Every structure is written in structure tokens, then in C-alpha cells.
């Protein structure tokens, strides 16, 4: 079967699941809301207004992870994957279509999230907010980071074959472990996927990564997870 109808079928699956649509909406709402709260109560002489404006991405990426996880985990419930592979026997082609079907809506929603969050941050912070060039970089970085974290979660879910297992690993890691490692290490935490991607959301960064190299590190994590997921889908029984 050609790639286009496989992709179309996967996009229909995403549109038909309310939990996935809700996760996409939550990305915008959660990121913008927490960013507005952080911008409304900035620290005195805040040296990083850009991160204040985009503070909510730490919570918004949880919704992005939930989206990527749920989109893949649905295939492992009730024998759905067997039916899918009956219609599309070419497993690598199906998994590629699934990945694109996850990436496209998150890219669109992430761009909207970055734009809304930037406008809210500029409105709340006023003259103390980030400059427009900084803000535009932050909006693009926000979009890419959300997309990469959704793909990272999708790949990990294909390996673990369980949405509960994936979320049980990733959410505590993002909320707790990443910060603990960051406090205990000197630079190692900068190469974790969530921390590396967020370098683009800082006005300046003292670590070894820059805005785009940080996103490149996050992309490597996502690529590794997707390659592992593709191998798992190709080699393991449905």
C-alpha cells in the first residue's frame, strides 16, 4: 500500500480519539497559562525574561508526551495492532506513517502554542519582556521542543508497548529526576532531552549547549527512541 493512504488512515485515528484531541488542546492551554502565571510574578531584576515568558513549557511538554504516548499505546490495546498490520503488512511503512501522523499535529499546535505564549508573555511583562528576536527564537524553540518530546514518547511507547509504563517513566523523570540530576551534576543534565531542548528558551546559557545544538541533542534522543520503536515493531509479535 502506498504511504499516503496509510498516513491518511493514521490521521483519522488521531482525529477520532477524544483523548488525543484533548491532549493537543492541553498543550496550548497549559503552556500559556503557566507561562502567564510566571510572567505575572517575575523575580526582581529577572535576568532571563525569555524563560519567564516560556516557563510553562515544562508543563506543556507533559501534555505533548501524553499525546505521543496515547497515539501509539492505542495500537497495543484489544488487538488493534494486528488489525492495523493486516491492512498494512509493511511494518516500517506503518510505523513511519504513525510517526508523521503524530509529528504533524504537534508541529501545528506547538507553533500556535509558541505564538500565544510569546504574545501573553510580552503583554504581561511589558518593557521587561524579551525582545522580538528573542521571542521569535523562543516560539520556534517551543514548537520544536514540544514536537520532539512527543516523538520521544512515541518511540519509547513502541518499545515498552504500554502507555502506562511510558508515562510512569517519563512524567516522574521530567518532574523530579531531571532536576535532581541537574542539582547533583555539572553539565551532565544539560544533555537530557528535556533540559537540552529548553536551552533555546533562555536568553543566555552558561552550559556547553546553545539554542540549536540543544535542540539537536533533543532530536538525537527522539531519533534513538524512534529507531528502537521501529525495531521493536518490526521484530516483535503484534
pLDDT in tens, 164-201: 999 999 998 887 766 666 555 557 778 889 888 989 99
User: 198 near 60, Cβ under 8 Å?
Assistant: no
Q: What is the dihedral of CA 212, 168, 164, 167, to 10 degrees?
A: -20
Mean pLDDT of the chain: 89
Predicted confidence at residue 41, as pLDDT, reads 73
- Which position has the grid cell 513549557? 57
Region 135-162: mean pLDDT is 96
Predicted confidence at residue 184, as pLDDT, reads 56
pLDDT in tens, 220-237: 999 999 999 999 999 877
| CA–CA gap between residue 71 and residue 77 (Å, rounded) | 11
Give me the residue spans of the domains in the chain. Answer: 3-230
One DSSP character per residue, 132-151 reads HHHHHHHHHHHHHHHHHHHH
Answer yes or no: is pLDDT of 5 > 70.
yes
Answer yes or no: is pLDDT of 129 > 90.
no
Residue 170: DSSP 8-state: H
pLDDT in tens, 157-173: 999 999 999 999 999 88
Predicted confidence at residue 33, as pLDDT, reads 94
Answer yes or no: is pLDDT of 82 > 60.
yes
Predicted confidence at residue 86, as pLDDT, reads 87
One DSSP character per residue, 205-227 reads --SS--HHHHHHHHHHHHHHHHH
User: 122 near 53, Cβ under 8 Å?
Assistant: yes
pLDDT in tens, 19-78: 999 999 999 999 999 999 888 876 655 678 899 899 999 999 999 999 999 999 999 988
Predicted confidence at residue 81, as pLDDT, reads 87
Predicted confidence at residue 34, as pLDDT, reads 92
pLDDT in tens, 86-119: 888 899 999 999 999 999 999 999 999 999 999 9
| CA–CA gap between residue 234 and residue 238 (Å, rounded) | 9
Amino acid at each position: 500500500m502506498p504511504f499516503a493512504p496509510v498516513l491518511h488512515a493514521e490521521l483519522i485515528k488521531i482525529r477520532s480519539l477524544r483523548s488525543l484531541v484533548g491532549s493537543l488542546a492541553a498543550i496550548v492551554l497549559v503552556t500559556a497559562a503557566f507561562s502567564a502565571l510566571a510572567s505575572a510574578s517575575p523575580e526582581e531584576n529577572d535576568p532571563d525574561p525569555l524563560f519567564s515568558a516560556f516557563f510553562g513549557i515544562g508543563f506543556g511538554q507533559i501534555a505533548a508526551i501524553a499525546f505521543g504516548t496515547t497515539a501509539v499505546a492505542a495500537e497495543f490495546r484489544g488487538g488493534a495492532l494486528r488489525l492495523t498490520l493486516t491492512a498494512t503488512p509493511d511494518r516500517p511503512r506503518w510505523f513511519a506513517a504513525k510517526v508523521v501522523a503524530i509529528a504533524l499535529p504537534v508541529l501545528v499546535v506547538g507553533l500556535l502554542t509558541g505564538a500565544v505564549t510569546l504574545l501573553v508573555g510580552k503583554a504581561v511583562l511589558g518593557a521587561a519582556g524579551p525582545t522580538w528576536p528573542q521571542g521569535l527564537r523562543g516560539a520556534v524553540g517551543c514548537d520544536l521542543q514540544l514536537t520532539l518530546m512527543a516523538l520521544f514518547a512515541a518511540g519509547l511507547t513502541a518499545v515498552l508497548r504500554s502507555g502506562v509504563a511510558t508515562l510512569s517513566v517519563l512524567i516522574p523523570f521530567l518532574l523530579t529526576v531531571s532536576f535532581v540530576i541537574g542539582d547533583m551534576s555539572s553539565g551532565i543534565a544539560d544533555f537530557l532531552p528535556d533540559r537540552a531542548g529548553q536551552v533555546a528558551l533562555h536568553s543566555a546559557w552558561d552550559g556547553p549547549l546553545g539554542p540549536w545544538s540543544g535542540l539537536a541533542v533533543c532530536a538525537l534522543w527522539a531519533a534513538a527512541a524512534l529507531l528502537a520503536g521501529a525495531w521493536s515493531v518490526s521484530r516483535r509479535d503484534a
